[in-house]
Structure 1
Amino acid sequence: MALEVSVPSSMASLLLVLCYGMVMVGVVNSARFYELFRPSWALDHFIYEGDLLKLKLDNYSGAGFESKSRYLFGKVTAQIKLVEGDSAGTVTAFYMSSDGPTHNEFDFEFLGNTTGEPYLVQTNVYVNGVGNREQRLSLWFDPTKDFHSYSILWNQRLVMFLVDETPIRLHTNLEHRGIPFPKDQAMGVYSSIWNADDWATQGGRVKTDWSHAPFVSSYKAFEIDACECPVATTAADNLKRCSSGGGEKRYWWDEPTMSELTLHQSHQLMWVRAKHIVYDYCTDTARFPVTPAECVHHRH
């Protein structure tokens, strides 16, 4: 059974509580790794230093972990410090995914670089098993020098990727245009580090230099503020229980203010797109001679 507690996720949520006169509910989980997650492979490549978790990649293996529960709507966040120095060929991923061939998935993939070159962040959205919606951007800071927060916000209206609370990508619900939107499958939260030198750095031209191994990504301050879904519950029941109903039950992610970007967020996203986007599948006419339908209708 999910623990439902009245915990505003932000000052904005607190104001909404006051305005609506209702109890805002969510599932607010501790930042301790083992309370939320479990290792999923290569346990000997995990390093624990108090509340700090490190995953290492060497020429034997990478490593990965997954959430103990599945969720439908809400926000997941991890603070991550990426591999320092020459990380070419490596990928550190932080993502949400459901199971099966028609799965939904929201990806952060951090593509390693040669020393002195900028890290690139690739995002992707899978809907009903179909991906190919990559965007890549450079960051406005060095993600190897300190921890930064990476978040995925998901509700019935949108999927938003955020870096230090700055939106870098918005995928909106366009079901009224006949375009599927991921809202019917509970998703787990995952992270991993692995070798992807066949594509990750300069299209695979720069390979992993194993003399620099182990490559280490560090994590702390995990947060899952979302609706937990019991394994045996049907998709329809999950959708019902994880959406705001009548009476006093309201989830913060269903509030009207969460259905679109604020003016400030819109300006932030415009800045990111103008200054930092280096690849957008929507403008790749070689791959997509016919512009993908969602690209025609998305404002961002």
Structure 2
Amino acid sequence: MAVSLSPSLVKLSIFSLFVIVLVRVVGASRFDELFQPTWAPDHFSYEGEQLNMKLDNYSGAGFGSKSKYMFGKTTIQIQLVEGDSAGTVTAFYMSSDGPNHNEFDFEFLGNTTGEPYLVQTNIYVNGVGNREQRLGLWFDPTKDFHSYSILWNQRQVVFMVDETPIRVFTNKEKQGVAFPRDQAMGVYSSIWNADDWATQGGRVKTDWTHAPFVASYKGFDINSCECPVSVTADENVRRCSAGDKGYWWDHPVMSELSLHQSHQLMWVRANHLVYDYCTDSSRFPLPPPECNHHQSKG
């Protein structure tokens, strides 16, 4: 029996195939093709295409992308510190420069042995952050590699874990909510000691007898509009925002979550969200303006 597909479904299927093919062509890159150590290179080690980065009582470590980008999708596979990781933070984030910077944060907050990691996300727009959300994961992130992604276009910022959306920040500029779309960002990661706040509000300190604390990385993938330093900031904004360039992340189907993704996000929030700044009346007696628009998404 022949099956008739609607034109919109045909378009969606073709676009989905296009994205799959594009991802296969781009693939993951080696660390040194996209990144370089930014501090404590003696705390780096390599096993083939796997990077290990350690924290001890002398230093943490960090790396950053060689280029800056605007829009697109960035993914890194990470295996987090195993065992007693209390007091440690492993961060994966994008950020622009300067006091009025934009920033998208994944911060993985270590815990005592047997207690689950918490993942904190945060968003800075024009230098203003304080948009923390925390959630548990539905797996043990220390036992294997999992992918952590940031999708960014002119309509939304989506944080994803193994392609499951865990947070969405939607462009609501028409309602007076600032949205990050005019600054190129670098891609960064670091491991560092944050025992003044990271674990149970700083009540549990880092136990240095368990050092070194090691986070491992692979699967480095940046599928974005690159912004050369030789090009002015305004020109990079024009080039990376041009609708006639055919960027995949500007396609209408990428402007919001699919129905399946919306259900995934609802499941994550219902079962794993443990803190949302939008509902913290002790910090914000009047909810921040974006919370009126992001309660269902974040």
Q: TM-score, normalised by structure 2?
A: 0.91
Q: Distance in 2 between matches of 1:214 and 1:238?
A: 41
- Report what 1:230 is aligned to: 228
Structure 1 residue identity aligned to 2:180: P
Cα distance change on mapping 1:200 and 1:178 into 2, 3 Å = same
Residue 120 of structure 1 is aligned with which of 112, 118, 121? 118
Cα distance change on mapping 1:39 and 1:29 into 2, 3 Å = farther
- Report what 1:9 is aligned to: none
- Report what 2:206 is aligned to: 208
Give runs of aligned pairs for residues 51-130 of structure 1, distance below 5 A.
51-130=49-128
| SS class of match (1:88) | coil
Structure 2 residue identity aligned to 1:154: W
Q: Distance in 2 between matches of 1:204 and 1:151?
A: 28
Q: Is the 8 A contact 2:12 2:253 kept in 1?
A: no
Q: Distance in 2 between matches of 1:16 and 1:112?
A: 39
- Report what 1:35 is aligned to: 33
Structure 2 residue identity aligned to 1:149: S
Give runs of aligned pairs for residues 1-300 of structure 1, distance below 5 A.
15-16=14-15, 28=26, 30-246=28-244, 249-298=245-294, 299-300=296-297
Q: Is the 8 A contact 1:57 1:215 kept in 2?
A: yes
Deviations 1:121-148 (A, max 9, x none): 0000000000000000000000000000
Cα distance change on mapping 1:17 and 1:219 into 2, 3 Å = closer
| SS class of match (1:242) | helix
Q: Distance in 2 between matches of 1:245 and 1:138?
A: 38
Structure 2 residue identity aligned to 1:48: Y
Structure 2 residue identity aligned to 1:222: F
Q: Distance in 2 between matches of 1:214 and 1:265?
A: 38
Deviations 1:209-268 (A, max 9, x none): 00000000000010000000011322321122113433xx30000000100000000000
Q: Is the 8 A contact 2:243 2:250 kept in 1?
A: no
| SS class of match (1:293) | coil
Q: Is the 8 A contact 1:77 1:152 kept in 2?
A: yes
Q: Is the 8 A contact 1:57 1:193 kept in 2?
A: yes
| SS class of match (2:52) | strand
Alignment gaps of 5+ in structure 2: 1-10
Q: Distance in 2 between matches of 1:62 and 1:101?
A: 24
Q: Is the 8 A contact 2:160 2:167 kept in 1?
A: yes
Cα distance change on mapping 1:29 and 1:227 into 2, 3 Å = farther
Q: Distance in 1 between matches of 2:45 and 2:13?
A: 37
| SS class of match (2:84) | coil
Cα distance change on mapping 1:28 and 1:229 into 2, 3 Å = farther
The Cα shift of 1:297 comes to: 1.2
Q: Distance in 2 between matches of 1:156 and 1:51?
A: 33
Structure 1 residue identity aligned to 2:257: L
| SS class of match (1:231) | coil
- Report what 1:4 is aligned to: none
The Cα shift of 1:184 comes to: 0.2
Q: Distance in 1 between matches of 2:98 and 2:26?
A: 27
Structure that is richer in helix per residue:
2
Alignment gaps of 5+ in structure 1: 1-11
Q: Distance in 1 between matches of 2:27 and 2:39?
A: 23
Q: Is the 8 A contact 1:78 1:150 kept in 2?
A: yes
Q: Is the 8 A contact 2:88 2:191 kept in 1?
A: yes
| Identity of matched residues, % | 76
Structure 2 residue identity aligned to 1:124: N
Deviations 1:22-69 (A, max 9, x none): xx89x9475200000000000100011110000000000000000000
Q: Distance in 2 between matches of 1:159 and 1:128?
A: 15
Q: Is the 8 A contact 1:13 1:252 kept in 2?
A: no
The Cα shift of 1:17 comes to: 8.5
| SS class of match (2:291) | helix
The CA RMSD measured in Å over matched residues stands at 1.8
Deviations 1:53-89 (A, max 9, x none): 0000000000000000000000000000000000000
